[in-house]
């Protein structure tokens, strides 16, 4: 016949199982890449993309400055080479030279601006990479500890489950149904102790006859109020 201590033993195992399984689910949920790590990696990729574009623009800007400088040098050569003497032609060349010099200066400004932007972009990439490395180190450390905990919890759950199977042999079918019903109703606490004639589950004073029955240890006796299985020590 199922006794209150048998049900209590089962309850203790079930509570330990609930805790271990909940922690295992929690640990498994935290394994794999974290959103923070994914976000940090994305920031690095974005900064790299920005730099790639800036460097490509710098390349174009360098070409463009060289081109303007070449043209200016060519016109300057004509202007001061002494081969052209016609004043109108010289005046036109002078105007063209001034325009080209202005163009060179403008393009050089663009190039300098890009160099500054690239420097800033490199600093930002450095920061993003440091931040990623930091998060990655934390992540690696956490993963190692989660793996360790998982490796510890899995056999613990298996052991508790095996113990539960053993304990179930001492609990008959109707007692088990009652226990499960009460466990659901009272958040895992199907069994209540009795102290000074009071149910420790709901603090009600129990009738003497019920206490005597519980003390006899024959069958399961339930509290008249909360219906928990009473355990008289």
Chain residues binding Zn ion by CB under 5 A are 199, 201-202, 223, 225-226
Q: Which is nearer to Zn ion, 42 or 225 (CB)?
A: 225
Residue 203 Cβ, how far from Zn ion at the closest point, in Å?
8
CA distance 46 to 52: 10
Residue 206 Cβ, how far from Zn ion at the closest point, in Å?
8
Residue 204 Cβ, how far from Zn ion at the closest point, in Å?
5
Q: Which is nearer to Zn ion, 160 or 214 (CB)?
A: 214
Contacts of 103 (CB under 8 A, 6+ apart): 68, 72
Residue 199 Cβ, how far from Zn ion at the closest point, in Å?
3
Q: Which is nearer to Zn ion, 5 or 113 (CB)?
A: 5
The answer to whether 46 and 137 are in contact (CB under 8 A) is no
Chain-centre distance for alpha carbon 34:
3
Of 28, 58, 25, 21, the residue nearest 164 (C-alpha)? 21
Q: Which is nearer to Zn ion, 43 or 202 (CB)?
A: 202
Query: What 3-state DSSP class applies to 192?
Result: strand
CA distance 75 to 222: 110
């Amino acid at each position: 016949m199922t006794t209150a201590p048998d049900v209590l033993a089962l309850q203790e195992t079930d509570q330990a199982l609930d805790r271990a399984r909940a922690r295992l689910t929690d640990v498994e949920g935290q394994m794999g890449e974290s959103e923070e790590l994914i976000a940090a990696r994305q920031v690095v990729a974005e900064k790299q993309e920005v730099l790639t574009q800036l460097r490509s623009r710098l390349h174009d800007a360098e070409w463009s400055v060289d081109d303007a400088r070449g043209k200016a040098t060519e016109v300057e050569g004509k202007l001061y080479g002494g081969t052209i003497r016609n004043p109108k032609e010289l005046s036109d060349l002078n105007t063209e030279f001034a325009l080209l010099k202005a163009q060179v200066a403008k393009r050089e400004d663009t190039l300098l601006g890009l160099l500054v932007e690239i420097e800033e972009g490199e600093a930002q990439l450095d920061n993003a990479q440091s931040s990623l490395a930091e998060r990655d180190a934390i992540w690696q450390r956490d993963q190692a500890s989660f793996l360790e905990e998982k490796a510890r919890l899995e056999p613990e759950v298996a052991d508790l489950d095996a113990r539960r199977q053993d304990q179930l042999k001492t609990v008959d079918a109707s007692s088990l149904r009652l226990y499960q019903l009460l466990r659901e109703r009272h958040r895992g606490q199907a069994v209540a102790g009795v102290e000074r004639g009071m149910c420790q589950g709901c603090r009600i004073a129990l009738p003497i006859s019920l206490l005597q029955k519980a003390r006899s240890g024959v069958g399961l006796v339930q509290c008249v109020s909360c219906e928990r299985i009473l355990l008289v020590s």
